[in-house]
Amino acid sequence: SSIPVLTIDGPSGSGKGTISRLVAQRLGWHYLDSGALYRAVGVAAGWADLDLADPAALVRCTFDTQVGFRDDGPGEPRVIVNGVDATNELRTETAGAAASAIAAIPEVRAALKDRQRAFRQPPGLVADGRDMGTVIFPDASFKVFLTASAEERAERRYKQLKDKGVSVNLDGLLREILARDARDASRAVAPLRPAEDAVRIDTTGLGIDEVVERVLALLPAR
């Protein structure tokens, strides 16, 4: 495809979501939050009371789960799961952990592949996730891998959740983030790792605007 893609991969709390959304806005490109797809399946599995240890049921759930994004304002797009606005539920660490468990099932990843590629529309796409540069868009023109120390990532998530009125415990978050990182990095299928041709940016101690500028600097001047 000749439609340009910028992939932004990295671990949870690396700032991918915020940075990707802002970069997409600046470029006037579409935005894919691929984690939201996995989280949506996780949440739908919870609604249906499915067993996270039953891969066949989770694969069926993946095919049955409709996910829509409603981008009608300056903030985060709303995520609609099976007709219900699940934006807030999607952000919880429970949904993240369910997503991470489900994301280790190869058939689930395969089922979501085409849905993700369908976001590649003119004039361009910014795709945020774990395997955007390695598996979903290996031919992307621009690839970034964002990192930050685990402590800083836990603090960012803490603030993010607190702002949303979700009560959380910082140490617990740090433990959950480290566990999720370990699972995402060690799974057999599409493990979290930088694409060979990705530019790594360590965002520890950097402000949002600074990271946005560094990412935009990778693209040809327009």
Toward ligand C5P, which CB reaches closer, 8 or 27? 8
By CB under 6 A, name the one of 4, 5, 6, 12 that touches ligand C5P.
Answer: 12
Q: Are 129 and 109 in contact (CB under 8 A)?
A: no
What does the alpha-carbon distance between residue 66 and residue 117 come to, in Å, rounded to a whole number? 16
Toward ligand C5P, which CB reaches closer, 120 or 221? 120
99 is an interface residue for ligand C5P by CB under 6 A: yes
Q: DSSP letter for 194, please.
A: -
Toward ligand C5P, which CB reaches closer, 130 or 143? 130
The interface mask with ligand C5P, positions 174-213, x = CB under 6 A, is ------x---x-----------------------------
Query: In DSSP terms, which residues pair with 69 in a beta bridge?
Result: 79
156 is an interface residue for ligand C5P by CB under 6 A: no
Closest CA to 142 of 6, 3, 31, 19: 6
User: Phi, psi (5° rounding) for residue 70?
Assistant: -115, 110
Give the contacts of 26 (CB within 8 A, at least 6 positions apart): 212, 216
Q: Least CB distance from residue 77 to ligand C5P, whole Å? A: 13
Stretch that binds ligand C5P, among 53-61, 129-137, 144-152, 153-161 (CB under 6 A): 129-137
What SS3 state is found at 130?
A: coil
143 is an interface residue for ligand C5P by CB under 6 A: no
The residues in 21-60 that bind ligand C5P, with binding defined as CB under 6 A, are 34-35, 38-39
Q: Least CB distance from residue 221 to ligand C5P, whole Å? A: 29
By CB under 6 A, name the one of 89, 131, 152, 176 that touches ligand C5P.
Answer: 131
133 is an interface residue for ligand C5P by CB under 6 A: no
Give the contacts of 6 (CB within 8 A, at least 6 positions apart): 23, 27, 29, 124, 125, 126, 127, 140, 141, 142, 143, 144, 215, 218, 219
Structure token digits, residue 25: 């806005």
For ligand C5P, the binding residues (CB under 6 A) are 12, 34-35, 38-39, 96, 99-100, 103, 129-131, 180, 184
Residues marked as binding?
Answer: 10-18
